[in-house]
Chain A
């Protein structure tokens, strides 16, 4: 079955640095990969989607890369701020008729002031 792996250890960085989160997947070739942010007690919030034919996608301080050969996506937050502290989830579209999302377990990011 398909499997998505995100670093379960929290990422602790200094404000102003670039945070880089990793998402690896196996046994699947998604056409799309999405990143969500989740704060405690809240539901996931959509951030970015990248298609299989796109190598890189940017939105303000966020950048996502997608390497279908390595089966890996990298999520970058540049000039990180304490407000960026949250759990970041990688999700794949399961391309059947329901387009349900398959989630990784998430990586917690902590940005120190």
Chain B
């Protein structure tokens, strides 16, 4: 089966511009997660979708970040306006329906965002 895909792989924008990242999860995976790794730090949780609903967005840094998952398939993460501190690698992960607390997550390759 195809893995999690993310687009673009790299994005370089100027401060104040808008960027939209896309994630296509593994087909049939209801859970979709966004994570971010900024330089020198650990990977941190941003938010979690179950199908098209936001289950947990406690990790979103501020209201410049907007995530959507219309139709419960692919997801987009928009940053508007981008700031320098938004630079980092944004990972998307998906998992099957969580029937128990066991939750193996499959990660995409990430989008490297550079804000100049």
Query: CB distance B48 to A98 under 8 Å?
Result: yes
Question: Which residues of A in the span 96-113 have a Cβ within 8 Å of any Cβ on B?
Answer: 96-106
Interface status of B88 (Cβ within 8 A of chain A): no
Residues in B neighbouring A32, C-beta threshold 8 A: 101-102
Q: Number of B residues whose C-beta is below 8 Å from A?
A: 27
Residue from B48, B59, B108 in contact with A43 in the complex, judged by beta carbons closer than 8 Å? B108
Q: Quick one: closest B residue to A91, CB to CB?
A: B43
Q: Number of A residues whose C-beta is below 8 Å from B?
A: 27
Question: Which residues of B in the span 12-43 have a Cβ within 8 Å of any Cβ on A?
Answer: 31, 33, 35, 41-43
Query: CB distance A103 to B44 under 8 Å?
Result: yes
Residues in B neighbouring A93, C-beta threshold 8 A: 101, 103
Residue from B41, B48, B91, B101 in contact with A95 in the complex, judged by beta carbons closer than 8 Å? B101
New A-B pairs, 4, CB < 8 Å, besides A41-B109, A98-B33: A42-B109, A43-B108, A100-B45, A103-B43
Query: CB distance A46 to B105 under 8 Å?
Result: yes
Query: CB distance B4 to A49 under 8 Å?
Result: no
- Chain A interface mostly: loop
Residues in A neighbouring B91, C-beta threshold 8 A: 43-44
B-contact bits for A1-34, CB 8 A (1 contact / 0 none): 0001000000000000000000000000001101
Query: CB distance B4 to A43 under 8 Å?
Result: yes
Residues in B neighbouring A99, C-beta threshold 8 A: 31, 48, 95, 98, 101, 103
Residues in A neighbouring B41, C-beta threshold 8 A: 105
Rounded to whole angstroms, the CA-CA distance of A4 and B41 in the bound complex is 12
